[in-house]
Structure 1
Amino acid sequence: MAKKNKKNSKINQRIRKYFDDDPFDVGIERVESKTLSELFAALGIYDIEHNKKLMIKTLRMIWSEAESTMRQDILHFFEADGRVYKSEKPKDEPHFNREEKIDAIIAELDVNDEEALRLREAFATVRAKKITIEKMESKLRHIHFELKKEKLERELEGIFDIDDSFEFNASLKYSLYDQSFHKILTLHTKPYSYELIEESDFDALAAKISEDKMQAVAAKQKSIDAFLASLKYPHAYLTTKEIIDSLRASPPKTTLAYPLISAKVLKKIVREKIEAKEIEVHSQELLIVVDEVLQLPYSSKELTYNLELSIELDGVLEEIWESKRFNFDAVRADVKKEYEESFLDALEALVEECRGYAELLHFSEEELHERIYAFLLDFMPRSLHLTQKIHRKVARRFLQSIQGELIKKQRQELLARTIRDFKNLFPIARGMRRKLTLHIGPTNSGKTYTAMKQLEEADTGYYLAPLRLLALEGYETLRSKGIDASLITGEEQILDEEATHISSTIEMMNYDVDVDVCVIDEVQMIDDRDRGWAWANAIIGAPAKEVIMTGSPNVKEAVIALADYLGEELEIIEFERKNPLELLEHPTDFKNIEAATAVIAFSRKDVLKLKQRLSADFNVSVVYGNLSPEVRREEARRFREGETEILVATDAIAMGMNLPIKTILFSKAEKFDGITQRNLFPSEILQIAGRAGRYGLHENGYVGALNKEALSILKKNFSKEPKKIGTPFKVMASLDHIKLVSSILEENSLEEILRFFIKNMEFNGPFYAASLDDMLEASRIVDSYDLDIATKYHLACAPLTLKSSYIIEAYESYIHALEKQEPVYYHPPKLQGVYAQTSDELLRAEDMVKEISLYLWLSYRFEDYFVDAEKARQYRGVLNRYIENTLQQTQLVQSCKLCSAPLPYNSKYAICQSCFKKHYTHRGRGQRRSPR
């Protein structure tokens, strides 16, 4: 806060330069209307009436309430303008500081020391230019008035109350039941006007107040005597002792008209008149809680609740002291009616909402109410207050309870309205006479090269890549051939208005742009658990005269089935590998690894360990999935151009990365596929192994392993035919599907809609709805925000790393800003040094790049809110260089799991020595235990 105030103070001083040393609030009045309008435009405020008086008022408010960033923007505007708006008023001469000016004016006034001291205190915080002799004279008159009152209070032993009556204590006599005692009571005279106190002679005014005090005492004594005389004996409610005790204990100062009775006695009397659960005595009221029962509408059920009766205490005291016959029945009936009418109104609103949910089920009034009561009675407090929170809970429980019945009713209607024949969801493709061509063959067979040549020769074309890296390579290849092309990926768009060709990631395909040739790369990905729907959609919906698919041989039957479903011509061209691929007979020891070798691992951790071990003898490049495409590309370039001799990679190199690899060595032949740890499939082994031996560089390609276990699995599967990909294919709910289901179910929960789609949607063709685990997980996050269904859908499609708390935190902050309709700025994180010291620091930098990818992806869908896209791109370059610098270090250290301190190289433990001593070493023999 101190820093913020200091910054604002500096801005306040700097703005005075442009207003002739006047503050902003004064100087802004001298700025012309036209300049004020330009200032609002510069601040991005357009919905302001261009009336000078209103603009000045609004700017003063902004200046006083805004954060320092808004003040800084206003200052920058006047710095750019450069003009000084001079004041026509002459400057005050001579110039005094506050103390000097106060002393100078006091010297002109006839005041004593006490008055001078009070004047100084009164003006101690007033700005010097606002201190005038007139104001000080006015204040002096008020001081005279206050001093006079204080003197009167001292001499007359009392105080002036807030209404300017005189409050004092007096001794009053009580005589009853042959007893007599005096009691001090606080009394008041009538109020005295300001003019009377100010203008009257002190002694005369003191005499008048003294006389008024005696009259007040006499009047009060007369009132007490009359009250005591009126008391009946025996009293209807109080014993003689209770009366005496109440009069003695009654407080000296009270606003009650009748003497206060002790809480114990009062509660005893009230309980004789009403059966109360609780009684509370407050200063002005009596709170009584009783049990009541409400018969619920359309039901035999009853609801017992607490009825709170708030009764004026003075009224109860009057009825007790004057021995009146009183009861609470009328009050109870009125409050009960008010309580129950309010509850029944709230209940009716709840019933109407639930009736809307259950409209298709045609419940009777009795059944509808009974279903609601089944939840309502569990939530209702004893106060009979049906709050909005309870309303929402009951409505949600009610809706959940009827979901199954609603689905049964709505399914027929939904399916009747949905285009069940999936191919007809792509009208442009269906309106063209398309030819399908399938290039199949192993890696290094030239199938993709041939397809790209046909794409280059076409007048217009589309290249659909499985990865952003390959989309970028496709774009650069087209541009290198002199072809005008655009690049479209989830987080990057390079658009050329003259473009005839588009290179795109497959999920970003535009089904409204028709072309001559569309190349769909790595078509065997149609069988992928998470992304296969994108290849199915592209094959069915690509609006191209010729659709060329490239992939491995095991996709052949699947594509034939698709062509039959579509009723379109299919040509299959099979390719052979251009050079042989040989499986090594024996495991390869680390000391026998040669240059131009790629070592394969299946986790980031294993890749970095292998990299450190091999860095002792080689320059090493690394490629794994968590690295950004830019870093993967740079690492591949270093290997391709001979800056490094060894490549350590995951199966991320299996897809489309053309590298001069002579030998592929598997460190393991098993992987975790997101569900279980399993051996590699033959198709996966061949896809990775096929990267060995590039045509024109190495005559043969060699495949082996670093250990017997991995080599055994390779030998068993190397010559096996990969499992054929068959039907049905996964397809994904489009936004149109989502909107349709949302409208029918009256449901704004994306998770519920996706689950409904997955479980219930049926198609005529060889398809079924994809079960998208990541999208479902994302939908659970977006459903907790107040957003429309289309926005939720786009957010749930964003590229997320759900295992990274860093990414999820950023994702949720972006969604929160969208919910509030606020701009989303990119805030670059700070980096320590020019490269990471530990693998944890490297992982955090990798997550930072993924955060930028997420930001840029969202910026293309919500460009009005994500305003820092260029800044994010620039910082992605900084992070990529940081990661590249890190990967070129020979070794990274692990960090302590408890305190994050670096561990010694090749440490066998997960924590440092200090944490071990602190957490795992205890006094006494046998108390030391090792961390797991």
Structure 2
Amino acid sequence: MKSLRGTAWKPPKTIVQQVARRWLSNAKPNLSNSSDSSNAPASYPSAVARAKLQQGLQKDAPKSHRQRGPSAEAQRNYAMFRNFVEARFDRVLAAMGAWAEQKEEYRSFGVTSQAQLDREAALFKAVLDRAFNMATKKGTTGRKENPLFWNLRNAFIASDSGGLSRELKYAFQTFLMRTRFPKTVNELHMALADLRFPYEWYPATRMMQRTIHLHVGPTNSGKTYNALKALENAQTGIYAGPLRLLAHEIWSRFNAKGKPCALITGEEQRIPEGINTWFHSCTVEMTPLNAKVDVAVIDEIQMINNDDRGWAWTQAFLGVQAKEVHLCGEERVVDLIQALCARLGEKCVVHRYQRLNPLIVADKSLKGDFKNLQKGDAVVSFSRVALHSLKRGIEEKTGRRCAIVYGSLPPETRASQAALFNDPNNDYDYLVASDAIGMGLNLEIKRVVFEASSKFDGVGHRKLNIPEIRQIGGRAGRYRTATQEIAGVQSEPAPGVVTALDDEDLSTVKKAFETEALPIETAGILPPAAVLERFHSYFPARTPTSFVLARLRELARLSDWFHLCDFKSAFEIAEIIQPYNLSVADKCIFLNIPVNVRDEREIKVLQAFAQCVAELGSGHLLDFPDVDLEVLQAARPSNMKEQIDHLHRLESLHRTITMYLWLSYRYQGVFQSQRLAFKVKEMTEQKINEHLENLRYSPDMEANRRRRMRRLANQQEQKAKQFLESDEAGPVPVHDEEGHPEPLFDETGEAAEVQWPAGQTGPEGSTQSVSVGTQ
């Protein structure tokens, strides 16, 4: 998916010069390709038409970047896509506004009149025409040979009309700025965009002579256990993990052993009082790079390649000031870490581990029947609604109790649920859990059951990656249970077993355990705030930050060992906060805020927070009318559809409060209602759990939901294979950003069926099922 980050393109001078001459002579340029334009739609196409076009483009994608000529079907699809792009570009221009309405912004791009804007738009359409002619007539669609067409097509397939609009806007802005910068400024841009040596961003760390210990092996092999032993034996140290729940677990463990420890996550900081030194347990984004310590443990180092969060692992690895750095992860990261250590001039010691007990994949699934569950089974799903629905269904079908564990649970509740499941002397025989169990929680699982082999990742459904399946499945079986350790029992460890609820998902699980994941070749990076601030200073004051990011993305120079992480969320946030007069430093902070940009409620609150910082207004929580505190007082609706809307409101409020807490640690003098925010967050979590606990389970509806997820995941896989033409390795497991371990629902665009208590009717006397659409 790295191709979606964009590739720099320059408008061909010849075509621009030709069209400019026509414009000056009042001869309107021919912007369409003869017969193609006759089929142009009167308006932008419907969702059905777009879906058909996407399928056609996927099918037409050549296996190589060049071919002698496209097929007749490909020509028709490209001609239709041309019409779609032209129609969408007209919408983009309308959304950008007339010159008289947006004078300041247009002036920052060198446009000084409406006539000039019209001329530039016509020139850009000619450049689009050139790109489509290359695709239609010559079949030239590759990223290197035809980057404009490549970017537009990939944006359309990946994000439909919204992604296409964004890419068109950035491409047009780049076109406007083509002659805006003198040679000296361009040279400065190129120098600042030189990101080939990110280890030089941490000069204090480079003054140290660190030893890197790389612990690699499969799940349940003891690699993290040995790394944490080194941390416990040190005087000072840092643990950096991928999820808030893991940071909390290490924090609890160290404090229980009498070792003072601070908990540092994006939305919560607990610092020991009355002492001068302590350990740090944090999410990897919050790794304290200025603290000099004896030992640092960085968990799940293979996520250094992640397109969204990989930069945090790279930053922690390159920047942490520890005498010993212990990295825990998978074997496939060894070559990359050794290569980076060689460039750093630091010693790298590789510790390899074997699994402590056998792991087997079952020949049979559960056939969709919970009566086939066994004591000690953990059923894994990927949304909170699905987890609670499964819990209810298992308890109804088996007559036994079922514990539940996922990252969004309060730490105390999560610990008590784990203890109930681990205790063999009660009736909690089963567990439902999110993929968070794959990240090292202490659970005595005998068999892992995959409820599904695909998940909704915030954009669409995708199949689980090979490393994800192996990591989650690897939690099955324990070398020695807590009961055996207490009793001093010495016995051969029982093998762990992995299976699935349905046969279709079991085949995917089996394939994953039979296939080796590809080696990790690059580490993700993002330019540090200092680079972005200085880069921004070479643009006019009102230049949109989204364009500055696009320009930096295009000019970025990278070595073979690094790749640029995805800017998508930063682009979207930059557009949302653009109207507010924030300093560049403040913008850099807001670009990283945890927000769901698909939720209108959260967008309004984010804008209110940005306005507060820009105008130095009151930051008390109660002074923001857009924060939906009223939902906490609202009675629970009896109508089923209204209950779903109510649950969406609660989820939006929870993320809103998370945003407030996140900002409260970065603007301590502004967002002052931190204690109240924690209380509201607790109340919101309680309300959400009350709703989730009332879910019902319908075997038929759940089976339909799983079939739909498989269908959508298969479509996405085909899209990636046939359309993206990528020979690059697939993405590493994507664990949601810290603070948001699991989504509430398992989809946003497609209908999701949810069961509510019997006796409650939906609209027009419907049954207890409901379709949950996009919010």
> Which interval holds the TM-score relative to the shorter structure?
0.5 to 0.7
| Corresponding position of 1:620 | 402
> In structure 1, the residue corresponding to 2:609 is in which secondary structure?
helix
Flag the 1:811–1:913 CA change in 2: closer, same or farther, 3 A: same
> In structure 1, the residue corresponding to 2:178 is in which secondary structure?
helix
Distance 1:408 1:673 in 2: 43
Moved more, 847-856 or 857-866: 847-856
Q: Deviations over 1:663-710 (max 9, x none)?
A: 111122233445554433221111010111122127321111112111
**235, 239, 245: which one aligns with 1:463:** 239
Distance 2:545 2:498 in 1: 47
The Cα of 1:632 is off from its aligned counterpart by 4.9
Distance 2:685 2:103 in 1: 58
| Corresponding position of 1:374 | 116
How is 1:665-684 mapped onto 2 (pairs within 5 angstroms)?
A: 665-674=449-458, 677-684=461-468
> In structure 1, the residue corresponding to 2:677 is in which secondary structure?
helix
The Cα of 1:372 is off from its aligned counterpart by 7.8
Flag the 1:471–1:354 CA change in 2: closer, same or farther, 3 A: closer
Distance 1:644 1:777 in 2: 45
**274, 280, 301: which one aligns with 1:502:** 280
Distance 2:25 2:694 in 1: 79
| Corresponding position of 2:474 | 690
The Cα of 1:630 is off from its aligned counterpart by 6.5
| Corresponding position of 1:200 | none
Q: Deviations over 1:321-369 (max 9, x none)?
A: xxxxxxxxxxxxxxxxxxxxxxxxxx9xx999999976xxxxxxxxx98
1:650 correspondence with 2:428: no
| Corresponding position of 1:912 | 763
Distance 2:107 2:216 in 1: 58
**773, 776, 794: which one aligns with 2:571:** 776
**641, 665, 673: which one aligns with 1:860:** 665
| Corresponding position of 1:207 | none
> In structure 2, the residue corresponding to 1:615 is in which secondary structure?
helix
Flag the 1:906–1:772 CA change in 2: closer, same or farther, 3 A: farther
| Corresponding position of 1:598 | 378
Q: 2:395, 2:401 within 8 Å by CA — same for their partners in 1?
A: yes
The Cα of 1:804 is off from its aligned counterpart by 3.2
Q: Deviations over 1:146-178 (max 9, x none)?
A: xxxxxxxxxxxxxxxxxxxxxxxxxxxxxxxxx
Q: 1:618, 1:645 within 8 Å by CA — same for their partners in 2?
A: yes
| Corresponding position of 2:128 | none
Distance 1:417 1:397 in 2: 21
Flag the 1:351–1:911 CA change in 2: closer, same or farther, 3 A: closer
**275, 286, 309: which one aligns with 1:531:** 309
> In structure 2, the residue corresponding to 1:684 is in which secondary structure?
helix
**164, 168, 177: which one aligns with 1:403:** 177
Moved more, 551-560 or 797-806: 797-806
| Corresponding position of 1:584 | 362
Q: Deviations over 1:193-227 (max 9, x none)?
A: xxxxxxxxxxxxxxxxxxxxxxxxxxxxxxxxxxx
Flag the 1:791–1:903 CA change in 2: closer, same or farther, 3 A: same
| Corresponding position of 1:756 | 551
Flag the 1:519–1:373 CA change in 2: closer, same or farther, 3 A: same
Distance 2:288 2:500 in 1: 43
Q: 1:455, 1:517 within 8 Å by CA — same for their partners in 2?
A: yes
The Cα of 1:843 is off from its aligned counterpart by 4.6
**529, 544, 564: which one aligns with 1:735:** 529
Q: 2:109, 2:177 within 8 Å by CA — same for their partners in 1?
A: no
Q: 1:782, 1:796 within 8 Å by CA — same for their partners in 2?
A: no
**195, 200, 217: which one aligns with 1:441:** 217
The Cα of 1:787 is off from its aligned counterpart by 1.1
Distance 1:643 1:814 in 2: 48
Distance 2:512 2:524 in 1: 27
| Corresponding position of 1:575 | 353
Distance 2:400 2:182 in 1: 65
> In structure 1, the residue corresponding to 2:350 is in which secondary structure?
strand
Q: 2:696, 2:756 within 8 Å by CA — same for their partners in 1?
A: no
Letter matched to residue 439 of structure 1: H
Distance 2:433 2:637 in 1: 20
Flag the 1:443–1:793 CA change in 2: closer, same or farther, 3 A: same
Flag the 1:915–1:815 CA change in 2: closer, same or farther, 3 A: farther
| Corresponding position of 2:722 | none
Instruction: Compute the TM-score of the two structures, normalised by the length of structure 2.
Output: 0.63
Q: 2:392, 2:697 within 8 Å by CA — same for their partners in 1?
A: yes
How is 1:79-228 mapped onto 2 (pairs within 5 angstroms)?
A: none
Distance 2:105 2:601 in 1: 40
The Cα of 1:564 is off from its aligned counterpart by 2.3
> In structure 2, the residue corresponding to 1:519 is in which secondary structure?
strand
**335, 338, 346: which one aligns with 1:557:** 335
Stretches of structure 2 lacking an aligned partner (at least 5 in a row): 1-23, 27-98, 121-169, 482-492, 623-628, 702-744, 768-775
The Cα of 1:595 is off from its aligned counterpart by 2.6
Q: RMSD of the alignment, in Å? A: 3.9
**187, 196, 213: which one aligns with 1:412:** 187
**632, 640, 656: which one aligns with 1:851:** 656
> In structure 2, the residue corresponding to 1:469 is in which secondary structure?
helix
Q: 1:461, 1:515 within 8 Å by CA — same for their partners in 2?
A: yes
Corresponding pairs, count: 540
Distance 1:462 1:670 in 2: 34
Distance 2:252 2:103 in 1: 63
> In structure 1, the residue corresponding to 2:239 is in which secondary structure?
strand
Distance 2:404 2:181 in 1: 51
Distance 1:593 1:397 in 2: 55
The Cα of 1:531 is off from its aligned counterpart by 0.3
Q: 2:215, 2:326 within 8 Å by CA — same for their partners in 1?
A: yes
The Cα of 1:751 is off from its aligned counterpart by 1.4
> In structure 1, the residue corresponding to 2:177 is in which secondary structure?
helix
> In structure 2, the residue corresponding to 1:423 is in which secondary structure?
helix
Letter matched to residue 613 of structure 1: G
1:811 correspondence with 2:606: yes
| Corresponding position of 1:173 | none
Letter matched to residue 657 of structure 2: I
Distance 2:463 2:307 in 1: 17
Distance 1:542 1:457 in 2: 19
| Corresponding position of 1:700 | 495
Flag the 1:400–1:703 CA change in 2: closer, same or farther, 3 A: closer
Distance 1:672 1:643 in 2: 32
Flag the 1:800–1:437 CA change in 2: closer, same or farther, 3 A: same
Stretches of structure 1 lacking an aligned partner (at least 5 in a row): 1-298, 302-346, 359-367, 379-395, 917-932
> In structure 1, the residue corresponding to 2:404 is in which secondary structure?
strand
How is 1:870-909 mapped onto 2 (pairs within 5 angstroms)?
A: 870-889=675-694, 891=696, 905=757
Q: 2:108, 2:540 within 8 Å by CA — same for their partners in 1?
A: no
Flag the 1:372–1:679 CA change in 2: closer, same or farther, 3 A: closer
Flag the 1:912–1:573 CA change in 2: closer, same or farther, 3 A: same
Q: Deviations over 1:543-597 (max 9, x none)?
A: 1111110012222222122222322110000111111112111112321212321
> In structure 1, the residue corresponding to 2:574 is in which secondary structure?
helix
Letter matched to residue 412 of structure 1: E
Flag the 1:376–1:764 CA change in 2: closer, same or farther, 3 A: closer
> In structure 2, the residue corresponding to 1:861 is in which secondary structure?
coil
* Higher RCO structure (Cα 8 Å, ≥6 apart): 2
The Cα of 1:598 is off from its aligned counterpart by 1.1
Letter matched to residue 716 of structure 1: K
Q: 1:514, 1:544 within 8 Å by CA — same for their partners in 2?
A: yes
Q: 1:436, 1:571 within 8 Å by CA — same for their partners in 2?
A: yes
Flag the 1:886–1:498 CA change in 2: closer, same or farther, 3 A: farther
Flag the 1:849–1:656 CA change in 2: closer, same or farther, 3 A: farther
Distance 1:842 1:639 in 2: 28
| Corresponding position of 1:511 | 289
> In structure 2, the residue corresponding to 1:879 is in which secondary structure?
helix
> In structure 1, the residue corresponding to 2:281 is in which secondary structure?
strand
